[in-house]
Amino acid sequence: MQRIDPTSTPTQTPTPTPTPAAPNSAALPTPQPSTAAWLSVIPGLGQLYNRRWIKGSIFLALAIVFAIALTAPLANGLHGLVTLGDNPEQDDSRTLLVQGILSAIVTILLAAAYVLNILDARRDAAKRREGFAIPSVRKAFHDSWEHGFPYFIVVPTFLLLTMIVLFPLLFMVCLAFTNYNLYNSPPAHLLDWVGLDNFVSLFTEEVWTRSLLAVMAWTVVWTLLATSLQIALAFFLAMIVNDSRVKFKRFIRTIFILPWAVPSFMTVLVFAAMFNDTFGAFNRDIFSHFGTSIPWLTDPFWARVAIIFVQVWLGFPYVFTLVTGVLQSISKDWYEAADVDGGTRLSKFRYITLPHVLYATAPLLIMQYAYNFNNFNIIYLFNKGGPPVPGQSSGTTDILISWVYNLTFEQNNYKMAAAISIIMGLVVAFFAFYQFRRTRSFREEEMY
């Protein structure tokens, strides 16, 4: 809370040095940045003090409108966020939670605008003291378009992102600290904040710890194995197709891109049908010739093999396309120089091709790992995470995200799903952030 207390002004802001040369304002009192800042504790007054009449009036009007129109809803919203409803007959805790989070976001945004308003008044006063003329309204508009242009784009974009991406994340984080599940769900019941209870049961109750460990382990294996295999295969194929002796390059590349071009939604379901234990094409048309039949969908091991195969099939064309692009851009001079020095093929690969490709594609390859970590579609469409495991709430091929989906939409166990999501989000965020920092793209940022 800011207090308006004129007497304390000089002691709190000792910085402004009194009256430097201000030749053109001899008749007027010298503008004091600190006074302007203190005045704009009520938005607009500081700007009026700076003789920016229109700007000041707009700020003041906005402040009054916001104060009248928003104070009550925001206070209500925040109140609802704290209590999650008092009256089971009227209050829907989910709506209160949504409104509460939105109120919190709006409050933070308004607070930021408020701080900017104070800084603005102060800066203008400082400018005036140094003898800058106050620009006309027209010029002020032009200036702010000229210099503030990126903000006109970035701020609205971030508002949109806040609503569609950030808000859902916040909502989910909140759910993890409530008791929202099938048996205690609005509108029939009110939700309550339960602190860390969900996390405690996740790490202490047998069925949860076992499921969590199993799913975590398979998620890691799946991410590493499927992605690495798809990168290795893509790299190998891109290399051999790029060989100067190979003809029909365009045609070969076109066929290789096909799995990417066909919607994965369709191919995964087709694969699910083909891998079907009894009537699937693989067992019926191929393995029957060898007199065996493999339980692709019901045996844990084979289900995992099948699903990794499908992902490699689906995922290699993207990496193949990337690597091909990079390979074509490596200058031939490198290889000619290596030939002159008598470099072997292996050493050319080791010292020219590999560094080039990895250097150029590292961020996207990392994203591939992140993508597979979250690759819900394939797991869900292929086998719905099955086959199921007794004594666990998750299936054999369930990765974290598909497990969360299952908990949310099939079992309506929102609180646990949210708690697991948080753990998962932290893991991803940590790795991605760490990795991105190391990659070139962000180091370059510092250069200009």
Partner 1 sequence: MRRSLKSKLEVSGIYLVVLIMFCVILYPLLWAISISLNPGTSMFSAKLIPDNWSLEHYKWLFNDPRSDYVLWYKNTLIVAVFNALASVFLVGLTAFAFSRYKFAGRNKSLYAVMLMQIFPVLMGMVAIYLLLNLVGLLDTFAGLIIFYAVGGLPMNVFLVKGYMDTIPRDLDESAKMDGAGHLRILTKILFPLIRPILAVVALFTFMAPFMDFLTPRIILRSPEKFTVALGLFSFINDKFGNNFTIFAAGTILIALPIAIVFLFLQRYLITGLAEGGTKG
Touching partner 1, residues 215-274 (CB under 8 A): 237, 240-241, 243, 245-246, 252-267, 269-274
| CB burial string 362-382: b at 16+ within 10 A, e below | beebbebbeebbbbeebbbbb
Minimum CB separation of residue 389 from partner 1 in Å reads 22
**Interacting stretch for partner 1, rule CB under 8 A, among 77-85, 146-154, 195-203, 334-342?**
146-154
Kindly tell me which residue out of 141, 158, 203, 351 binds partner 1, with binding defined by CB under 8 A: 158
Options 108, 163, 196, 354; binder of partner 1; rule CB under 8 A:
163
Could you say which of 408, 413, 416, 419 contacts partner 1 (CB under 8 A)? 408
Burial of 397 (0-12, 13-18, 19+ CB in 10 A): buried
Contacting residues for 176 by C-beta, under 8 A, at least 6 apart: 198, 199, 415, 418, 419, 421, 422
Q: Which is nearer to partner 1, 49 or 180 (CB)?
A: 180
Tell me whether residue 58 or residue 370 sits nearer to partner 1 (CB atom). 370
Looking only at residues 102 through 141 of this chain, which bind partner 1 when binding is defined by CB under 8 A?
none
- Take residue 350 and report the two structure tokens written for it: 């080791």
Residue ranges in 293-352 that form contacts with partner 1 under rule CB under 8 A = 313, 321-322, 324-326, 328-329
* C-alpha distances in Å from residue 162, one per residue of 155, 159, 282, 426: 10, 5, 47, 19
Nearer to partner 1, 207 or 269 (CB): 269
285 binds partner 1 (CB under 8 A): yes
| Pair 276, 294: CB distance under 8 Å | no
**Nearer residue to partner 1 within complex by CB, 10 or 148:** 148
Q: Which is nearer to partner 1, 63 or 274 (CB)?
A: 274
* Start-to-end C-alpha separation, the chain: 39
- Using CA atoms, how far residue 149 sits from 142, 157, 170, in Å, is 10, 13, 30
Taking the C-alpha atoms of residue 137 and residue 102, their distance in angstroms, rounded to an integer, is 34
Half-sphere CA count of 427, side-chain side, radius 13 A = 15
Comparing CB distances to partner 1, the nearer of 203 and 430 is 430
Q: Binding residues for partner 1, how many (CB under 8 A)? A: 90
CB of 371 to partner 1, least distance (A): 9
Per-residue string for binding with partner 1, 34-63, x by CB under 8 A? ------------------------------
User: x/- binding map, residues 174-213, to partner 1, per CB under 8 A?
Assistant: -x--------------------------------------
Q: Which two tokens stand for residue 237?
A: 């194929």
CB 177 within 8 A of CB 198: yes
